[in-house]
Amino acid sequence: MSEAIYVGWEPREAQAFMVAVHSIRKHLSRPIPVRGLVLDELIASGLHRRPMNKTVNSDGHVKMIDVLSIRADYNGAISTEFANTRFFVPHLAKTGWAVFMDCDMLVRGDMAALFDQLDPKFAVYCVQHDYKTQHATKMDGQANAAYAKKNWSSVTAFNCDHPANKSLTLDALNTLPGRDLHRFCWLDDSEIGELSPTWNWLAGESEPLDNPKVVHHTLGAPCMPGYENAPFADEWRTMLNQAAAAALSFGG
C-alpha cells in the first residue's frame, strides 16, 4: 500500500515548514515521500474553489477569511493557508495512506511507525484531543477559535481507499464550512481511529509528556515573537540550522 506525508505550506511560517520537513525525513526508517501542500497550487489546478478574502492590517498581520465559514458568531477568519486544504489530501494521494501535518511541528520520532499501526477498517486516524484552549490568540495575533474536535485534524492519516471517504467530493470540499470539515462531518465517529497523544503533542496546551514523537507548536513556532522559549525550542532551532545547512549543501 502506498504511503505519503503532506505538510501544509504557509508563507508566514517558512522556517517552521523547513523544520517540519527536515525533521520528518531525518527520522524516517524507510523512504516515504514528503510533499508540501500549497494553496496556490490547488487553486491553479482548479481543485480549490473556496471563496477567500485576504487582507493585511496596518500592523502587517495577514488576515484570511474563509467565506463559507462565516456565521453570526464567527467572522470566518483562518490562521493559515492550509486551514482547509488538508482535506484535499485524499484527492492528491488517490490511494493508500496519506498523512497530513501542520507545518508548525517538530518531529522527533519515526513517522513510519505511525503508518505501521494503521488499520484499514478506519477512514482516518488522529489524536482525539479533549481540551479547550486557554489562549484567545495565537501565532502573530490570529484568533484562536474554538470548535468541535479542535486540533484533531492537525495530524490526520487518511485512508484514501476507504469507502466512507468517497463522500469527501470536490463539491463537498468547496461548499462545506471549515468547521464541518474539521469535525470530519462526512464520517461517523466509529470510522475515526485514535492515535496516541505522542503523535500530536500540543506545546503549551496538552498535558505534560516526557518524550513526544511530534511536538506541535500550535500557539506559535519558536521563530515567532513571544514563542522563542516554547517547549523544545532549542531542539527546534537545532533542526532549523540542520535544515538550512542541508539546503545550502544541496544548492552548492
Decide: 157 and 195 in contact? Cβ < 8 Å: yes
DSSP 63-104: EEEEGGG-BTTB--EESSTTTTGGGGHHHHH-SSEEEEE-SS
Which residues fall within 8 angstroms of residue 199, CB to CB, at 6 or more apart?
114, 127, 155, 213, 214
- Has residue 56 been placed in a domain? no
Burial string for 112-128 (b: 16+ CB within 10 Å, else e) reads eebbeebeeebbbbbbe
- Has residue 77 been placed in a domain? no
- Classified as helix, coil or strand, 5 is strand
Rounded to two decimals, the pTM is: 0.91
* pLDDT, average across residues 5-19: 96
Pairwise CA distance, residues 48 & 46, whole Å: 6
- Has residue 78 been placed in a domain? no
**Residue 245 predicted with pLDDT over 80:** yes
Number of domains in the chain: 1
- Identify the pLDDT of residue 71: 86
Taking the alpha carbons of 198, 200, 204, 205 in that order, is the dihedral positive or negative?
A: negative
- Has residue 231 been placed in a domain? yes
- Has residue 62 been placed in a domain? no
- Has residue 66 been placed in a domain? no
- Convert the pLDDT of each residue in 138-191 to its tens digit: 454 454 555 558 789 999 999 999 999 999 999 999 999 999 999 999 999 999
Domain region containing 226: 3-48+84-251
| Cell 470566518 sits on residue | 76
Give the CATH number for residue 35.
3.90.550.10
- Identify the pLDDT of residue 16: 97
- Has residue 246 been placed in a domain? yes
- Convert the pLDDT of each residue in 54-100 to its tens digit: 877 766 667 889 999 898 888 888 889 999 999 999 999 999 999 99
- Identify the pLDDT of residue 74: 82
- Has residue 121 been placed in a domain? yes
